[in-house]
Amino acid sequence: MKSLRELYKIGKGPSSSHTMGPQKAAKIFLEKHRDAASYEVTLYGSLAATGKGHMTDVAIKEVLQTVAPVEIIWQPDVFMPYHPNGMKFVSMDAGKNVTDEWTVYSIGGGALSEGKAENDMFDSPDVYDMNCMTEIMKWCEDTGRSYWEYVDLCEDSSIWDYLMEVWRTMQAAIERGINKEGRLPGPLNLARKAPTYYVKASGYKQSLQTRGLVYAYALAVSEENASGGTIVTAPTCGASGVLPAVLYHLSKGHNFNDTRILHAIATAGLIGNIVKQNASISGADVGCQGEVGVACAMASGAACQLFGGSPSQIEYAAEMGLEHHLGMTCDPICGLVQIPCIERNAFAATRALDSNLYSAFSDGSHRVPFDKVVNVMKQTGHDIPSLYKETSSGGLAKILDPKASRNE
């Protein structure tokens, strides 16, 4: 498995696969072809189907238009063989002759791939020898260590400075979001809810206040993401509100210090990395179970660790967080990361706390291991038709005019 730096990316929303990834690809292509007279970028599959709602074209043009004009071509019905989020960049001279072209894929969480078995420019060395939960849990039990200690063993010492930057970015997104009023960008005219939820929750008794504050924190980050604010992919932009909400709530409510929080972030990252390695965290590939479902698993395991869970209890919490999101579709209305994405983050955050509590009442033993659920999620995702995988062609996305949710 790769470093946690490749899972936790700090950047601007609203989408890691549709905004961060394409913009990174555009920067790479620009560096090679600054002498071009014009550019042409073809977006395929999910990137084309929901690209305008996700501001894919804006992200690409922000980079390439600094040098030359850009034409965006939308091909929502063409799915490339390697991944649904395909892009082709073309550079041209003054006579409109093609000087170079490059096909690249945005594979989720802001990561890119050329789709090559060998010599892919985005390949990076593995940092972790073990890449499934069963192996790592056995290592923990055999050595008397926890999951975060496996991260510490495999990563270089600078990982903790990076995770502190991740944690500060998460906190900042919440604190901006709970104080920012108004409407989110796009045709839905969706009002921000985080400030209202925060104020209302603060006035309730403890039993209701807890849940209300977690809602507010998750809404705050998700609304920041939807408006193009700076967030952390955990594991994606679309699911970026779940883990911060849980960690922020626990740090405030239970006085966990930064060191304990960083250890929890490391454990959460390990859980997300296992899914990324063995299945997918791309909504275009496996639906929202790979985004919000994985975020819930990450937050469940993190919470369980903070409350002193054993390796098996942490694994059980993560398993429940993912299992109970199996089959969740990705059907954003108007192609925006707003409905149902924002509310899903809020509910997944509270479900993560429930998974932790349920696991804490157990001894950690259960019938279906986390690794099996990851395999099932992957197969389920591939069985789901493409209209339910970030194309805004089915599900909730159909309740509005289809022309508003596609680039036609």
- Report mean pLDDT in 10-residue bins for the chain, 408 residues: 97 94 97 97 96 93 97 96 96 97 96 94 96 98 98 98 98 98 95 97 87 97 96 98 98 97 98 98 97 98 98 98 98 94 98 98 97 98 95 89 42
pTM for this model (two decimals): 0.94
Question: What is the residue type of 212?
Answer: G
Separation between Cα atoms, residue 301 and residue 151, nearest integer Å = 14
Sheet holding 111-113, edge to edge: 70-75, 38-44, 86-92, 98-108, 111-113
Residue 401: predicted pLDDT: 52
CATH tag, 4-113: 3.30.1330.90
pLDDT of residue 402: 41
Q: How far apart are CA 234 and CA 220, in angstroms?
A: 15
Q: Is 55 left (phi over 0), alpha (psi -120 to 50) or beta?
A: left
How far, in Å, CA of 27 to CA of 34, rounded? Answer: 10
- What is the dihedral angle through the alpha carbons of 155, 307, 239, 341, rounded to the nearest 10 degrees? 180
Which CATH architecture fits 133-405?
Orthogonal Bundle (1.10)
Distance CA(157)–CA(152), nearest Å, equals: 7
Sequence ranges of the domains in the chain? 4-113, 133-405
Which H helix or E strand runs over 346? helix 341-360
The set of residues, in sequence order, having a beta carbon less than 8 Å from that of 148 and lying 6+ positions away, is 263, 264, 266, 267, 270, 305
Gap between the Cα atoms of 374 and 300, Å rounded: 15
Contact 222, 243 (CB under 8 A): no
CB neighbour class for 41 (10 Å; exposed up to 12, middle 13-18, buried from 19): buried
Closest CA to 102 of 208, 9, 37, 24: 24
Contact 299, 305 (CB under 8 A): no
Per the structure block, which two tokens stand in for 233? 């992919």
Write the pLDDT tens digit of every residue in 298-311.
999 999 999 999 99
